[in-house]
Chains A and B, each alone.
Chain A
Amino acid sequence: MQKAYLMGNEAIGLGALAAGVNFVSGYPGTPSTEVLETIARENRDGRVHVEWSTNEKTGLEAAAGAAYAGARSLVTMKQVGLNVAADPLMSLAYLGVEGGMVVLVADDPGPISSQTEQDTRTFARYAKLPCFDPTGVAEAYEMIQEAFDFSEKYHTPVLFRPTTRVDHGYASLLVKEAAEYTVHEAKGFVRDPGRWVIFPRLSRRAHAAIEKRNAELTHVFSRYERNACLTAGHVHCRKGIASHGVSWTYLEETLRGFALAGYDKKAPRLLKVATPFPFPEHRAVAFLKGLDEVLCIEELDPVIERELTYLCGKYHLDVKIRGKLTGDVPASGENTRDSVYAETASFLGIAPRAGRALPEPPVSVVRPPVLCAGCPHRASFYAVKQAMKGQECLFAGDIGCYTLGNAMPLDMVDTCLCMGAGLGIAQGIGAVEPGRKCFAFVGDSTFFAAAIPGAINGVYNQADMTLVVLDNSTTAMTGHQPHPGTGRTMMGEVVEKVSIEETLRGIGIQVVRTADPLDLPHAVEVVREVAAQPGVKAIIFRSPCIALVKPLGRAAVDEEKCKRCKKCIREIGCPGIVVKDGQIVIDASQCTGCGICAEICPFDAIEVTRLPGGGLPKGARSAQQGKGGRA
């Protein structure tokens, strides 16, 4: 064993390696992404197959196949990705696996960077799959190894659901050295149509078997040491608190503070739930017996609260269960150290330490996230906006950095629902309002992940729509992962790029034009020409993510020529253009010399100086990792 300071996702990745994982797939999504990246980085001998799949569904299916063949497999995604992978997962729950298979789904309370606050613990109950819920970095490292053993023992895929603060928290912990890793060899796929081919007859049998197994697991999980019933204070205390995940650590620290402050007599009995499904029923009943009331402190759904309320009915226990359903704690949103402190103090009858009241700040400075200075998406949106000026349009957006095209002054995103949805939405609105020019914007990674069926749908059903693929040749939002269009894999191979143009032509789209959005006049012209055509047509705006290439140049304002009309600020919203003492100034530390501001300046007051090597890749390391230190 060796000590290491790790991000939760790194610890989970190393835990999977320590468990002898053979196959790892996934689709990038905050806060899950670094698990797979860690495994790819540590996979020095190439023993583990690691891939970014085209989406969560293909990733889960591939991981299932590997587990059919006896491999230990892991698939990683964020919570909304599980919706995409739900179809194979629901059926796989019936078939089970041969090798251990862990489906890692990272939940995002808040939400901080997601569309929904859905709770994978609830999904686990729906899918009838065991679910592991770690409280912190060190526990996540151990628990993912236990999840593999457990999956293999019961021949079922299991869910593993860390949340943002576990994924992105850092802590020191003891980790195994490579020599201590479990070595797991896949035995190979054994043909058995009665086991691997799902038919109603098999499903009927499998459903009954799953229900029986899950009933048994309530016993097994009641003995699982990470489901703990603790007495922090007096054995005859009448109050209990049940919690899970990172909230559990907030609760522990709160109670330690209360103990140090002399409130030990008020210490409650505690229930820590590590497996929300199947619920550790017998341990929970032991916890409930003798209590008058219980507070459930949990994030997202009231999973523990519902289970405890149900158990009180089942076992005729006269315990008042409090939580989200009773209005004692907020029904939604992320828990914080402060919220858990206040809720615990109130429940135990401890006067909370008064917070400091600060006066209102003199001005409110809001900083919504924006497209980076020099981002080619800004030019693409601006080109479409210019070309379509005066026409009734719909701009359907999608999931990625380019959702930020909604910000003023670009204001180019009318809708955003989920990965790939923009195409269908543009088609539906276009069918209802034939006079409206409908555009669907989609990024390159999202194109491969979720947009191709929507494009085919449009061609087949005679939609009138312009598909705009914003191709920056990377998955930028999540930290620059490769995808089928980049020609690189997570095994380090250089492979044939899948062509977006050829894919669209193959579908039957006749008008497919490619343009550089930074050549603004040409880009505007292309949009005009393409949008005027009938049917489904496509524009690929191709220009690399500026975070991955050296700056093209630097723009500067000629103070003599500048009339301070602020057109550059009003129209493109580049964070690199600021007003300083009444002058328009370009922030050299942000500018990459894209030249869009110079292009639109009516007085020719902005000059761009080209830099040598501009536009060339910044170097293999940063291209692979995406983030990393800056000096």
Chain B
Amino acid sequence: MQKNIILTGVGGQGTVLASKLIAAASLAKGYEVMSAETIGMAQKGGSVFSHLRVGEGLYSPMIRQGTADLLLAFEPAEAVRMLPYLKESGVLVVSSHPVMPVTAALAGTDYTGREMVEYLRREVREMHVLDGAAAAQEVGSPKALNVIMLGAALASGALDFLTEEDVIAAIRKKVKPQFVEMNERALRYAGEHGV
């Protein structure tokens, strides 16, 4: 078994924690894991990504284009940016809520996120869309977006080597006690809402 996963979003959306939770849950089940993430200047409001690989035959954390089994995107334009990594039979799980770059607000561009979602629908065989920001409001914290999207990836079946319980165990280990309950609700959101 080998799973290649790309997580992407905008600096501050919490891709790193989502990546760490998948890694921790996989390690706890005895899988080999390698990963890499954006650190440094690009974090500050820029595009960020994590490469995450689970299973056998790993030499480095980096993933080749056209070979990712899952693209987990917290923002539609970032999903489009990283789409070349997804293999044709791969699964895309994407939040439809756009994050406006400062440049867009300045230049008054017409980016709405919808055009990106339509583009993705045309190009991707299996795609699961969720308004992560609206879901986060329902769950009670804008910061829950990352774990909600991780829950959507679980519900999609693209992380079939893990169960919800595996990830919840990882949340209990990695997240401060006062936020565990909220994150558990966030993780279950997509499954309960039929995403």
Is B165 close to A, CB under 8 A?
no
Is B96 close to A, CB under 8 A?
no
Quick one: closest B residue to A335, CB to CB? B62
Is B29 close to A, CB under 8 A?
no
Chain A residue numbers with a CB within 8 Å of B141 are 631
Q: What's the least CB distance linking A593 to chain B, in Å?
A: 16
Is A370 close to B, CB under 8 A?
yes
Chain A residue numbers with a CB within 8 Å of B175 are 629, 631
Determine if B60 and A170 form an interchain contact, defined as CB atoms under 8 angstroms apart: no
Is B176 close to A, CB under 8 A?
yes
Is B66 close to A, CB under 8 A?
yes
Is A113 close to B, CB under 8 A?
yes
A308 to B103, CA, bound (A): 48
Quick one: closest B residue to A589, CB to CB? B142
Determine if A477 and B106 form an interchain contact, defined as CB atoms under 8 angstroms apart: no
Chain B residue numbers with a CB within 8 Å of A429 are none
A contact set with B: CB distance below 8 Å: 5, 30-31, 112-113, 136, 165, 168-172, 246, 249-250, 252-253, 256, 336-338, 341, 353, 355-356, 358-359, 361-363, 365-372, 401, 404, 407-409, 477-478, 569-570, 573-575, 577-579, 588-590, 627, 629-631
Partner of A575, one of B27, B33, B45, B119: B45
Determine if B62 and A337 form an interchain contact, defined as CB atoms under 8 angstroms apart: yes
Q: What's the least CB distance linking A367 to chain B, in Å?
A: 5
Contact string, B81-111, partner A, CB cutoff 8 A, digits 1/0? Answer: 1011000100000000000111111101111
Q: What's the least CB distance linking A138 to chain B, in Å?
A: 10
Is B116 close to A, CB under 8 A?
yes
Is B80 close to A, CB under 8 A?
yes
Q: A30-B41, A365-B77 are in contact. Are A579 and B62 (CB under 8 A)?
A: no
Partner of B104, one of A5, A336, A362, A365: A365
Q: What's the least CB distance linking B166 to chain A, in Å?
A: 15
Q: What's the least CB distance linking B107 to chain A, in Å?
A: 9
Can you spell out 28 A-B residue pairs with CB atoms less than 8 angstroms apart?
Answer: A5-B23, A112-B41, A113-B42, A165-B60, A165-B61, A169-B34, A170-B35, A170-B61, A171-B58, A337-B60, A337-B64, A356-B84, A358-B123, A359-B119, A361-B116, A363-B110, A365-B104, A367-B46, A369-B45, A371-B44, A401-B44, A573-B106, A579-B100, A630-B14, A630-B143, A631-B14, A631-B144, A631-B147
Q: A365-B101, A368-B46 are in contact. Are A170 and B17 (CB under 8 A)?
A: no
Determine if B45 and A355 form an interchain contact, defined as CB atoms under 8 angstroms apart: no
A574 to B105, CA, bound (A): 10
Chain A residue numbers with a CB within 8 Å of B104 are 365
Interface residues of B in 96-138 (CB under 8 A from A): 100-106, 108-111, 115-116, 118-119, 123
Q: A170-B23, A372-B45 are in contact. Are A407 and B80 (CB under 8 A)?
A: no
A337 to B84, CA, bound (A): 13
Interface residues of B in 136-191 (CB under 8 A from A): 141-144, 146-147, 174-176, 179, 182-183
Determine if B60 and A629 form an interchain contact, defined as CB atoms under 8 angstroms apart: no
Partner of A170, one of B36, B43, B146: B36
Partner of A171, one of B43, B61, B101, B147: B61
B-side interface residues, number (CB < 8 Å): 69
Q: What's the least CB distance linking B113 to chain A, in Å?
A: 9
A404 to B183, CA, bound (A): 33
Chain B residue numbers with a CB within 8 Å of A407 are 102
Q: A171-B34, A569-B106, A629-B17 are in contact. Are A369 and B59 (CB under 8 A)?
A: no
Number of A-B residue pairs, CB cutoff 8 Å, is 176
Chain B residue numbers with a CB within 8 Å of A5 are 23-24, 27, 33
Determine if B39 and A168 form an interchain contact, defined as CB atoms under 8 angstroms apart: yes
Chain B residue numbers with a CB within 8 Å of A253 are 57, 59-60
A165 to B39, CA, bound (A): 11
A401 to B34, CA, bound (A): 30
Chain A residue numbers with a CB within 8 Å of B110 are 363
Determine if A169 and B106 form an interchain contact, defined as CB atoms under 8 angstroms apart: no
Determine if A250 and B59 form an interchain contact, defined as CB atoms under 8 angstroms apart: yes
Chain B residue numbers with a CB within 8 Å of A31 are 39-40
Chain A residue numbers with a CB within 8 Å of B176 are 629, 631
Determine if A369 and B106 form an interchain contact, defined as CB atoms under 8 angstroms apart: no
The 10 A-B residue pairs whose C-beta atoms are closest, nearest first, are A113-B40, A365-B77, A30-B40, A249-B60, A631-B179, A589-B142, A253-B59, A369-B44, A362-B115, A337-B64
Quick one: closest B residue to A371, CB to CB? B44
Chain A residue numbers with a CB within 8 Å of B143 are 589, 630-631
Determine if A338 and B65 form an interchain contact, defined as CB atoms under 8 angstroms apart: yes
Partner of A355, one of B65, B103, B142, B174: B65
Determine if A369 and B108 form an interchain contact, defined as CB atoms under 8 angstroms apart: no
Determine if A579 and B123 form an interchain contact, defined as CB atoms under 8 angstroms apart: no
Determine if A630 and B17 form an interchain contact, defined as CB atoms under 8 angstroms apart: yes
Q: What's the least CB distance linking A228 to chain B, in Å?
A: 15
Is B7 close to A, CB under 8 A?
no
Determine if B44 and A170 form an interchain contact, defined as CB atoms under 8 angstroms apart: no
Partner of B119, one of A361, A570, A574: A361
A336 to B103, CA, bound (A): 29
Quick one: closest A residue to B76, CB to CB? A365
Determine if B123 and A168 form an interchain contact, defined as CB atoms under 8 angstroms apart: no
A246 to B61, CA, bound (A): 10
Chain A residue numbers with a CB within 8 Å of B5 are none
Partner of B36, one of A169, A250, A353, A401: A169
